[in-house]
Structure 1
């Protein structure tokens, strides 16, 4: 992914993952990629990937189950 310099990287990755949730790539109840998977796919630091996943959770799009990771919240 080529990043736009004027938009924070975490925000750009967040928008990609949010679009995947919206278009059904990650349907309700499915797991979203882990911090490590997001970091590897987009070439970002683990801390940045963690910020992305936290933003999805804060928006109410995902929820976290201890030991299982993050899943897409049902509408």
Structure 2
């Protein structure tokens, strides 16, 4: 879950949680990353916050986005 007293932005916390799942092998290459809607429900965050987390993962080269299909682990 999100640590509400953590000083880091919420999008960064979500991105770190997903990165951890990738590093631990819980999410493997080709696996779909949770959608914006799924992240908003799971973490109680705004859609823009979830979108920023997914953008960050893509910019770091951990995921790729396929239009109309979602984001996937590389």
The alignment's TM-score, normalised by the length of structure 2, stands at: 0.92
Alignment of 1:1-75 (within 5 A): 1=1, 2-73=3-74
Structure 2, unmatched stretches of 5+, are: none
Cα deviation for residue 67 of structure 1 reads 1.3
Give RMSD over aligned pairs: 1.0
Rounded Cα–Cα distance in structure 1 between residues aligned with 2:71 and 2:4: 25
Cα deviation for residue 4 of structure 1 reads 3.1
SS of the residue 1:7 aligns to: coil
SS of the residue 1:12 aligns to: helix
Indicate if the aligned counterparts of 1:3 and 1:12 stay in contact, CA closer than 8 A. Answer: no
Report the number of matched residues. Answer: 73
Rounded Cα–Cα distance in structure 2 between residues aligned with 1:68 and 1:26: 17
Rounded Cα–Cα distance in structure 1 between residues aligned with 2:60 and 2:5: 23
1:27-51: CA deviation from partner (whole Å, max 9, x where unpaired)? 1111000001011111100000000
Rounded Cα–Cα distance in structure 1 between residues aligned with 2:5 and 2:11: 11
The alignment's TM-score, normalised by the length of structure 1, stands at: 0.90
